[in-house]
Amino acid sequence: MNDIALLPSCYLPPVGYLWVLRHYPRVVVDVHEHYVKQTYRNRCRVASPNGVVDLTVPVAGNASSLPMSEVMLSEHGNWRHVHLAALDSYYRHTPFYDYYRDDLLPFYRPARQSLVDYNAALLATVCGLIGIECRIEASTAYIPPSSCAGIDDFRACMTPKADVRQAFGGFEPRPYYQVFAAKLGFIPGLSCVDLLFNMGPEAVLWL
């Protein structure tokens, strides 16, 4: 484990992302890499009564040809309303949803902005609610893998296809309380909001 971690910008990232923020003294978020589709850069995974659901943030234009810093949010499909309705439906019976819902509500009102700015503000809010203090820096240029000597590079792990048990060195996804566990069993690798709504102030201790 090195002192510096390299992460992509992500939308309500999985709990392993927060583990990195909790345990590394310095974290760099690469905002100059090219946007990668079907990753946590613009989607998160949450638990429904019937299993895992992906919530995807639509982006404008041909984002795959752009660096992350230039990718803009789209309001296509009224996604903010859809995401908030999903969180209300799936997490309203968790112990702490009512405590934190109002803190997240401003992010689900229409306001065109860049994806990295949106992700950063949302992540800062979640970290503040959980009690994570971390030095997070935005990259000043793209950092190729060949330049990552002495840096733990987690950019390739930010996809639902990654094995959460191998994605983050030293991270063990121990079970925590989940509202649907009696039916579904413990589901690792869910969004940080799953940990927040189910564990509240104890989330930081779990991390």
Long-range contacts from 98-101, C-beta under 8 angstroms, 24+ separation: 99/200, 100/129, 100/196, 100/197, 100/200
Per-residue pLDDT of the chain (207 residues; tens, 9 = 90+): 888 999 999 999 999 999 999 989 999 999 999 999 999 999 999 999 999 999 999 999 888 889 999 999 998 889 999 999 999 999 999 999 999 999 999 999 877 789 999 999 999 999 999 999 888 999 999 988 888 888 999 998 888 887 766 566 667 778 999 999 999 999 998 999 999 999 999 999 998
3-state secondary structure 11-32: CCCEHHHHHHHHHCCEEEEECC
**Quick one: tokens of 113?**
């902005």
Answering whether pTM is above 0.85, one says: yes
Number of H helices, E strands in the chain: 8, 6
Q: What is the DSSP string of 149-173?
A: TTEEE-GGG-STTS-HHHHSTT---
DSSP category for residue 33:
S
Calpha distance 65→195 (Å, rounded): 34
Calpha distance 86→47 (Å, rounded): 10
Beta-bridge partner residues of 30: 8
Cβ proximity of 68 and 30 under 8 Å: yes
61 three-class SS: coil
